[in-house]
Amino acid sequence: MKVISGIEAYDGNKKTAVTLGKFDGLHRGHQKLLEKVLSYCGDGCESVVCAFDMHRDSLMTVRERREHLSGTADWLIEQPLSGEFMSMEAETFIEKILCENLHAAHLVVGTDFNFGHGRRGNARMLEAFAGQYGYTVDVVDKERYLGTVISSTYIKDALAQGDVKLAEALLGYPYEITGVVRHGKQLGRTLGFPTMNIEPEEHKILPRFGVYAFRVKIGETWYNAVGNVGIKPTVTDEQQRLLEVYVYGFEGDAYGREITAQFCDFERPETKFGSVEELKENVMRAMRYGERYFGC
């Protein structure tokens, strides 16, 4: 997959099947769009995902979006939402961007897709110009889960409640955080429970602060784990977001290594305890919870 910044940098010369959107989370609804685009590939037609800038607080980072799309589309265009781009008239966008620049033969969009100045452009406009410019349009219905439309907002609401199982059902994969293990105050080691501290990227949305069961990838190996996501109110006033995990069965030094932690289950909200002794008791309770959850 070729990754480029801005549609103006696209230099492909083949016909394309194109889908456009923010694709925050690449949830099951987004995956429907991608599957339709990929169905047009072959016979000289390449697939293009045009992903617009995401909001500050997002379900996935730019890097995660790239990794999830890797091995699927031929092109990923990361399109900044500049003033010039946002002010482009919808008709100009169709003619200059979709047709002349991207050589679109097939367009795949959701029912609520809008584009152009004042968001005037929509699926109906794309269909109206299809005959003139010689492309086809697929308007894909929303994917639903138990009757409710899947959306990035729905997933964010689930995470805010700590319902990581629902979030996984909506996404089609476990919600996860990737980061580098850094040195902390080593309180866990002092208490007899050595942990790994990971600082999430600044704009990555975290689930409800609390204790979770995790699957953690270190190198190429997956481990069971239990840990806390939050600000560690018992031992610090820094208000710094942090994921701290105890990994069952891992032996060795993980400092400086990049690991991925997938959320499996929510146990309880983050709590400020009255003493380190009370904290230790609850850490032990959390470890027993993890052992029960994973059957280890």
CATH of the domain at 222: 2.40.30.30
Residues 76, 82, 28, 122, CA torsion sign: negative
Question: How many whole angstroms separate alpha carbon 249 and alpha carbon 241?
Answer: 26
Q: Which domain holds residue 204?
A: 174-294
Q: Is residue 9 located within the same domain as residue 139? A: yes
pLDDT tens, N- to C-terminus, the chain (296 residues): 999 999 999 999 999 999 999 999 999 999 999 999 999 998 789 999 999 987 779 999 999 999 999 999 999 999 998 888 889 999 999 999 999 999 999 999 999 999 999 999 999 999 999 999 999 999 999 999 999 999 999 999 999 999 999 999 999 999 999 999 987 665 555 555 688 999 888 889 999 999 999 999 999 999 999 999 998 654 455 668 899 999 999 988 888 999 999 999 999 998 877 777 888 888 889 999 999 999 87
Same domain, 190 and 140: no
Question: What's the confidence (pLDDT) of residue 18?
Answer: 98
pLDDT of amino acid 187 = 55
Residue 38, domain member (yes or no): yes
154 within some domain: no
Residues 108 and 186 in one domain: no
Specify if 150 maps to a domain.
no
pLDDT for 191 equals 55
Report how far apart, in Å, the C-alpha atoms of 124 and of each of 9, 109, 132, 272 are: 28, 11, 14, 54
Q: What is the pLDDT of residue 186?
A: 57
Question: Which pLDDT belongs to residue 190?
Answer: 57
Residue whose C-alpha is closest to residue 227's, from 249, 212, 237: 212
Residue 25: Cβ within 10 Å count: 27
Query: Are 119 and 31 contained in the same domain?
Result: yes
Q: How far apart are CA 20 and CA 101, in angstroms?
A: 14
- Is 200 buried (19+), middle (13-18) or exposed (0-12) by CB count in 10 A? middle
245 domain residue, yes or no: yes
- Please state, in angstroms and rounded to a whole number, the distance separating the CA atoms of residues 253 and 135: 55
- Indicate whether 80 and 40 sit together in one domain: yes
**Res 185: pLDDT:** 61
- The pLDDT, as a whole number, for residue 84 is 86
Same-domain status, 62 and 120: yes
Residues 269 and 190 both lie in one domain: yes
Q: Mark whether 135 and 18 lie in a shared domain.
A: yes
Q: Does 169 fall in a domain?
A: no
Total number of domains constituting the chain:
2
Assign residue 15 the CATH number of its domain.
Answer: 3.40.50.620
**What confidence score (pLDDT) does residue 183 get?**
79
Residue 269 lies in a domain: yes
One-letter identity of residue 179: G
